[in-house]
Amino acid sequence: MIDLKEYGYDGPLEPVSGLLPGRVTEQHRDRYKAVCLRGEVWAAPTGSFFYSAGQQQDFPCVGDFVLLQYNETGDSRITGLLPRRSQFSRSDFGGHKAEYAKGVQQQVVAANFDYVFILSSLNRDLRLSRLERYLSAALSSGGQPVVLLTKADLCFEVQPVLEEVRLALPGAPVYALSSRTGAGMEELERYLLPGKTAVFLGMSGVGKSSLLNALAGQEVMKVQGIREDDSRGRHTTTHRQLFRLPGGALVIDTPGMRELGLWDADEGIGSAFSDVEALFPLCRFPDCRHQSEPGCAVLAALESGELSRARWEQYLAQKRENAFTAEKSEYLQEKRAWQRSLSKQIRQMKKGPKF
């Protein structure tokens, strides 16, 4: 027996005309896992649900409250969606390819969360414009934004940065924390209450997995660095998409939410490091890799102190992060192509003969 209230449900608990309310915890290719009074079940939308749900956003997603026709012996049936109080969606082809804009469908990737934790790392250059963008996305999702500046242990002076961000973003509470040392983590207790649901938003590498693991007290997510070889498969195999923390709060962490973190990945690096990139044309060789080449302007600037080693390393780290996200978005495009073909199949199925 599961008390659905513990999963954030606040509607009537008694079955309505034989249907049980439930909450979607995992989304698979064509089935869902959900929790309901009778426990954890596999469920799939009924044929009539498919037929009436014309748009992708009408299909269930992780976090949705649904009505279930409970089936003791096989998959339960999802017969309806309860109204969402908050949602994040993304266009099916990502924000990058404007030429595909026509016919792009919205796909809801998470629903019914109370808080949107927006993460940004204190050790990389913190971009307020990016934070602002995440913030307005969070506000329009219907969730309450909370800004978390991560990796505080890597930042020499947290307080001035924290104050600057607070000034710039008066619309949201801002905290600094470190999942490594645990500093600042207690600030989250006021949000992570039993039955409350949070989602995490932030660029790859800001420490979402590390924070989730720290909150869960165990490894629910693989952290970057030890998963390089299997980064492609990890979301489908290694973690649950809606899960409860030991204190009873709920966290949604879907691949779709992670993809939202790719926004702006390649924006603004050149301009933030124009002083560094201005050196490149001064190198003797046009294809200089700035490692050991004779006549390298970067090495000379490092030698003379004109360019600090810290700033150069920051630049390289940014470039690496970008290469990493670029690789990821390639993978996402492949995945989207696959999803497109799938939704085409579904459309054709729907057009086909009815029985």
Ligand X SMILES: Nc1nc2c(ncn2[C@@H]2O[C@H](COP(=O)(O)OP(=O)(O)OP(=O)(O)O)[C@@H](O)[C@H]2O)c(=O)[nH]1
Which of 103, 9, 112 minimizes the C-alpha distance to 56? 103
**Residue 271 annotated as binding site:** no
Spatial separation of the C-alpha atoms in residues 140 and 135, rounded to whole Å: 9
Which of 113, 120, 132, 119 minimizes the C-alpha distance to 191? 113
Within 8 A by CB and 6+ apart from 266, the residues are: 322, 325, 326
Within 8 A by CB and 6+ apart from 127, the residues are: 120, 268, 272
Task: Decide whether 28 or 319 has the Cβ nearer to Zn ion.
Answer: 319
What torsion do the CA atoms of 181, 127, 315, 229 make, to the nearest 10 degrees?
60
Rule CB under 6 A: say whether 150 interacts with ligand X.
yes
Q: Which residues of 28-44 are buried (b: 16+ CB within 10 A; e: fewer)?
A: eeeebbbbbbeeebebb
Rule CB under 6 A: say whether 155 interacts with ligand X.
no
Task: Decide whether 182 or 248 has the Cβ nearer to ligand X.
Answer: 182
- Give which of ligand X, Zn ion, none residue 225 binds (C-beta under 5 to 8 Å, depending on kind): ligand X
Within 8 A by CB and 6+ apart from 156, the residues are: none
Query: Which range in 129-137, 149-157, 283-291, 315-323 contacts Zn ion by CB under 5 A?
Result: 283-291
- Give which of ligand X, Zn ion, none residue 288 binds (C-beta under 5 to 8 Å, depending on kind): Zn ion
Give the burial class of 174: count Cβ atoms within 10 A of its Cβ; 0-12 exposed, 13-18 middle, 19 or more buried. Answer: buried
- Give which of ligand X, Zn ion, none residue 205 binds (C-beta under 5 to 8 Å, depending on kind): ligand X
Task: Decide whether 154 or 337 has the Cβ nearer to ligand X.
Answer: 154
Task: Decide whether 239 or 336 has the Cβ nearer to ligand X.
Answer: 239
Q: Taking the CA of residue 232 as centre, how many other CA atoms within 13 Å lie in the half-sphere pointing to its CB? A: 9
Rule CB under 6 A: say whether 258 interacts with ligand X.
yes
Task: Decide whether 218 or 304 has the Cβ nearer to Zn ion.
Answer: 304
- The residue from 84, 290, 328, 336 that contacts Zn ion (CB under 5 A) is 290
Q: Which residues are registered as beta bridge partners of 118?
A: 147, 201
Helix (H, G, I), strand (E, B) or coil at 89: strand
- Give which of ligand X, Zn ion, none residue 333 binds (C-beta under 5 to 8 Å, depending on kind): none
- The residue from 148, 288, 301, 332 that contacts Zn ion (CB under 5 A) is 288
- Residues between 291 and 310 with contacts to Zn ion, criterion CB under 5 A: 296, 298
Spatial separation of the C-alpha atoms in residues 197 and 243, rounded to whole Å: 9
Within 8 A by CB and 6+ apart from 155, the residues are: 122, 123, 161, 176
- Give which of ligand X, Zn ion, none residue 296 binds (C-beta under 5 to 8 Å, depending on kind): Zn ion
- Give which of ligand X, Zn ion, none residue 180 binds (C-beta under 5 to 8 Å, depending on kind): ligand X
Spatial separation of the C-alpha atoms in residues 142 and 137, rounded to whole Å: 9
- Give which of Zn ion, ligand X, none residue 141 binds (C-beta under 5 to 8 Å, depending on kind): none
- Residues between 196 and 225 with contacts to ligand X, criterion CB under 6 A: 202, 204-210, 223-225
User: One symbol per residue from 177 to 196: x for binding ligand X (CB under 6 A), - otherwise; what is it?
Assistant: -xxx----------------
Point out the annotated binding site: 150-153, 202-210, 283, 288, 290, 296
Point out the annotated binding site for GTP: 150-153, 202-210
Binding site for ligand X (CB under 6 A): 150-151, 153-154, 178-180, 202, 204-210, 223-225, 258, 261
